Amino acid sequence: MNSDQRIKASNHYVQLLLGYTEEALVDRPLAEVLSSSDHKDLDETFAAMMADGTSFLQLEKDFAHKSGKSIPTRINGSLMRDASGLPRHFILHIQDLSTEKAAEQSKRRLEGQLRQAQKMEAIGTLAGGIAHDFNNILSAVSGYTELVLM
């Protein structure tokens, strides 16, 4: 990607990830393949890198597959400069986080189910204790009732 944030080349992995051919990606603005309109912070990050000399970035963004499906990714980027120190282009490494995000979601769901099971266990233990105490009272009442009936 060059300094105006247009894609200049892509590898086979990115083409498969996004569902585009290399020809369809070349000269396309990076913002067009992001799934949301939150590319302003990406614009600001790239501008800050070019201005202050930072040469590396890492952030998470959602890209849009050609079909419209959102793909969570981690972007690791490096700003390459020419011999005079002027920004030439960015090299971005895009990592698909779909599996990790699905695993996190599954983990949160399972943790919720575990908390619910623990609550139900506590309620069961409480109900068992109350039933035991109530049974003790009823045994005494039943015993005295039998004595009265005799």
Tens of pLDDT, residues 52-111: 777 888 888 888 888 888 899 998 988 888 888 788 888 899 999 999 999 999 999 999
In whole angstroms, what is the distance from residue 43 CA to residue 41 CA?
5
C-alpha closest to that of 94 among 5, 4, 12, 2: 12
pLDDT for the residue numbered 116: 97
Its CATH class, for the domain covering 12-96, is alpha beta
CB 23 within 8 A of CB 29: no
Amino acid, res. 14: V
pLDDT for the residue numbered 89: 84
Two tokens at 17? 């990830």
For the chain, the structural domain boundaries read: 12-96, 98-150
